[in-house]
A = this chain, B = another copy of it.
């Protein structure tokens, strides 16, 4: 789910709501939690007993095939929700990428809130619809885009998410990026090198990318093969 719909509902300052105890029914049952890089929040198939909101840091959500092939369905950062699964079992695993702070809500209390707070279910529904729309775009990317288009989409998407036009902080490894795009580490690396040689980006460090030609990257991301140029 997307964009602070829990804390924001009760406190206009996202990320601080849970620290004021019992200001609302929900906060009474919420608790802060920290995760070190690589730690698991919950695993695919677990019973969904809690809903989490990311306060700080970045989380990867992924699914595995039996032989270890991995696909990261989404990255979650500050203000975003994870773990809501009315069906019972979690559909994916959630792991901390860097140092992560989470706010945890008990499932039962969350459900009660949905029932008792007029308009809350509708807000969640709108968030879920938005997320579904994003999921469809990702299917298009995974099923029909080439490597350059995938990497360009990733760069533009992350930049938008971070709100910067130019500098782009990439806390995840190349392996994470590869598993997010349905590529291998090597192909991601090669594609970034190619972008660098073409002057589309610059790499300050592995984790810090500068977007030099946003126009061209957006063209690529959109799937315009663009014969000129």
| Chain A interface (Cβ < 8 Å from any Cβ of B) | 63, 65-67, 69-71, 73, 84-87, 91-92, 114-115, 119, 121-122, 124-126, 128-133, 135-140, 142-145, 179, 181-182, 222-225
Contacts and interface: CB of A to CB of B under 8 A. Distances in A.
A144 B225 contact: no
Nearest to A130: B87
Nearest to A92: B136
A67 B114 CA distance: 43
Given A125-B121, A181-B143, A73 B223 contact: no
Q: 10 smallest A-B Cβ distances: which pairs?
A: A143-B182, A65-B223, A121-B121, A135-B135, A142-B142, A91-B133, A128-B128, A142-B143, A86-B126, A71-B143
Given A63-B137, A121-B121, A222-B66, A86 B142 contact: no
B138 A139 contact: yes
Nearest to A146: B69
A144 B71 contact: yes
B130 A132 contact: no
A224 B133 contact: no
Nearest to A143: B182
Contacts of A137: 63, 91
A222 B223 CA distance: 30
